[in-house]
Chains A and B, each alone.
Chain A
């Protein structure tokens, strides 16, 4: 272990280790990040939701979008798996169907980065408690 000899050294270590606890810090204030819930029930997993989730985690980080990616149970749209619910800070949640890694990339680039809508939104017209 190299000793910390200056403020710059300390900052360097901090930048390196920040990512270790970033997940925890973001989760304490979820409303400040993009929240992505991937449906991971049997139907979702069978349709490849695990890959979708991993794709989101790795590529959101790469694109510098602060986000919390979690899994949830079946959302009921088994015809459109993998399904993903996305909530941007201060906005209503939007559910996307058939989200393959390819679709995930489109969502990241268009919906999350530029605010454009993409096809495949499942209308949600019920209230949940």
Chain B
């Protein structure tokens, strides 16, 4: 007999870090104790996306969605819900607006606007069990391609679907496959780019952790269409769980004859190996990635030749991103027309985003192309944390830009984001509120770039360093208006002359913040003032003489003796001596001290 109830527990990296493994083992123990282990099955799944509320536990068939579950809650869930059929309401999600518990995920705002294609199996199947993947139509797309379609027909289907690369560039996937298929060689390669170097991004990691077989299947399909029998996954070593699940998936596929020689008795053979990266941003760039796999330094080379012509070991190589691959089996199962019916004119299907920053629902989401930034931030994301005001949203990672209030109704797709001065990138989305200083944000990204530049070409190695220095000057109140022009000019020079995509896009965060937040730069330069109150060098501490009663507490605690004043009369701060440590604010019981 099959199980009557399934308990799905998130086994993604985030939820595992908050004890989801212990939750699973305790559940299994209690179920055994109560003799229910034959009726109730506990399954560790991939990421549900609602990481802000993790660990997530979902109970089927009644679809109950429990959030922030702790190991000590497991006994209650089993006693109350599983045995007596009563939901444990304190663990249900409460929508911040009305505070009423919502019992199933379909009715949670976070999920309402989402459409999960690339994430279709994440949080639904056990990623370490190939049979659950097969039950979800897994490997039928591969079977269909190998037994019913020619390689060119597969390529045509992908072209027709309008799928574009999800790794950042948005290049049409079908066209890329066609290029690689046209080159004649004794050996070709399929490479999956799982480097995922954007700060804060975890889309690809979650797909590999939650549905690794979809990548294995898609790589084999790609191999068939371009005429390659070898696949390589380039993944950063700091993704241990994703690596483990991929390894299991590859081994299972081999055991089932879905990788190896003569797949489906068609004579087509395909194998997959994993290559580990050390986690350098530039190694996500395809030529640098290929050099790194060859055992050379992870440095880019100029294109052409493109990898499709001369890639890994100088053989024709097709490089695609994890999320791009994850879409492929579904397209072949449901048809290119179905896929092309979702999204906008130039961008079909969905996009996965990692929502982060000052937003209520931090997590992983997937929405149809054409969803607006406002829908993502306010409806799915639940708005800005702590009731603060929205200021900007950064998309496209270190190559992207910061968008403002005026861009919120822009439908998200590859072309629209470029039009407004940012880009899709791989799907990082960082939300900022009124307390974030945009000059400091630009400096943060430049700091990342200076750290990650491989140093091979001068514009990127030296140019970005100079940009960083100018930004530092401005945040210290030592900037001039001329610096603003220099920032702009140097940015354009770097964009035009850098060797690879890293340098060609690295000034984008600066250019977009100067365009969209010009006044904030000017405030730093002319008024020596940081409007967001973030740049330490520009802040001054003040004591309000109306509020200060002269208790002397601040003066006694000031580490530099910068505060003076008579007992029982208002005190004042010597800004020369003040080191802006904030101790006085913490100590003052009358809210008399403020930062300006």
Closest to B105 in A: A28
Closest to B62 in A: A70
Verify B1–A7 contact, CB threshold 8 A.
no
Partner of A73, one of B6, B84, B131, B255: B84
Verify A40–B85 contact, CB threshold 8 A.
yes
A54 to B36 alpha-carbon distance, docked (Å): 13
Verify B61–A13 contact, CB threshold 8 A.
no
Partner of B255, one of A1, A30, A57: A1
Verify A20–B63 contact, CB threshold 8 A.
no
Q: Given A6-B264, A72-B85, A73-B84, A20 and B2 touching (CB < 8 A)?
A: yes
Partner of B256, one of A4, A41, A53: A4
Verify B264–A24 contact, CB threshold 8 A.
no
A75 to B369 alpha-carbon distance, docked (Å): 45
Residues 37-79 of chain B, each 1 if its beta carbon lies under 8 Å from chain A, else 0? 0000000000000000000000011110000000000000000
Task: Write out the residue numbers on chain B whose beta carbons fall within 8 Å of the beta carbon of A14.
Answer: 134-135, 137, 140
Verify A10–B143 contact, CB threshold 8 A.
yes
Residues 556-590 of chain B, each 1 if its beta carbon lies under 8 Å from chain A, else 0? 00000000000000000000000000000000000
Residues 98-138 of chain B, each 1 if its beta carbon lies under 8 Å from chain A, else 0? 00000000000000000000000000110000011011110
| A46 close to B (CB within 8 Å) | no
| B147 close to A (CB within 8 Å) | yes
| B314 close to A (CB within 8 Å) | no
Verify B1–A58 contact, CB threshold 8 A.
yes
Q: Given A4-B264, A7-B143, A17 and B61 touching (CB < 8 A)?
A: no
- Closest CB of chain A to B578's CB: distance in Å? 58
A72 to B83 alpha-carbon distance, docked (Å): 10
A68 to B61 alpha-carbon distance, docked (Å): 6
Verify B255–A27 contact, CB threshold 8 A.
no
| B392 close to A (CB within 8 Å) | no
A113 to B2 alpha-carbon distance, docked (Å): 23
| A69 close to B (CB within 8 Å) | yes
Verify B135–A18 contact, CB threshold 8 A.
yes
B: contact size bracket: 20 to 34
Task: Write out the residue numbers on chain B whose beta carbons fall within 8 Å of the beta carbon of A27.
Answer: 60-63
A48 to B455 alpha-carbon distance, docked (Å): 75
Verify B2–A5 contact, CB threshold 8 A.
no
Residues 1-36 of chain A, each 1 if its beta carbon lies under 8 Å from chain B, else 0? 101111100100110011111111011101000000
Closest to A73 in B: B86
Partner of A20, one of B85, B131, B258: B131
Verify A21–B135 contact, CB threshold 8 A.
yes
Verify A4–B258 contact, CB threshold 8 A.
yes
Q: Given A4-B264, A27-B62, A13 and B134 touching (CB < 8 A)?
A: yes
| A87 close to B (CB within 8 Å) | no
- Closest CB of chain A to B71's CB: distance in Å? 24
- Closest CB of chain B to A44's CB: distance in Å? 9
Task: Write out the residue numbers on chain A whose beta carbons fall within 8 Å of the beta carbon of B3.
Answer: 23
Verify A17–B84 contact, CB threshold 8 A.
no
Verify A7–B147 contact, CB threshold 8 A.
yes
Task: Write out the residue numbers on chain B whose beta carbons fall within 8 Å of the beta carbon of A18.
Answer: 135
Verify A23–B2 contact, CB threshold 8 A.
yes
| B346 close to A (CB within 8 Å) | no
A10 to B132 alpha-carbon distance, docked (Å): 13
Verify B134–A24 contact, CB threshold 8 A.
no
Task: Write out the residue numbers on chain A whose beta carbons fall within 8 Å of the beta carbon of B5.
Answer: 23
Verify B257–A4 contact, CB threshold 8 A.
yes
Verify A23–B256 contact, CB threshold 8 A.
no
Verify A21–B125 contact, CB threshold 8 A.
yes
Closest to A70 in B: B62
A54 to B1 alpha-carbon distance, docked (Å): 11
A57 to B125 alpha-carbon distance, docked (Å): 22
Partner of B84, one of A1, A20, A41: A41
| B4 close to A (CB within 8 Å) | yes
| B224 close to A (CB within 8 Å) | no
A74 to B231 alpha-carbon distance, docked (Å): 57
Verify A17–B2 contact, CB threshold 8 A.
no
A23 to B265 alpha-carbon distance, docked (Å): 33
Q: Given A10-B139, A24-B124, A70 and B85 touching (CB < 8 A)?
A: yes
- Pick the 4 closest A-B CB pairs, nearest first: A3-B257, A71-B85, A27-B61, A17-B131
Interface CB pairs A-B, < 8 A, 9: A3-B256, A6-B265, A14-B134, A14-B140, A20-B132, A27-B60, A41-B84, A57-B4, A69-B4
Question: Given A7-B147, A24-B124, A69-B61, list of 20 further CB < 8 A pairs?
Answer: A3-B256, A4-B258, A5-B257, A5-B265, A6-B147, A7-B264, A10-B134, A10-B143, A17-B135, A24-B8, A24-B61, A30-B61, A40-B84, A41-B85, A53-B4, A68-B62, A71-B84, A73-B84, A73-B85, A73-B86
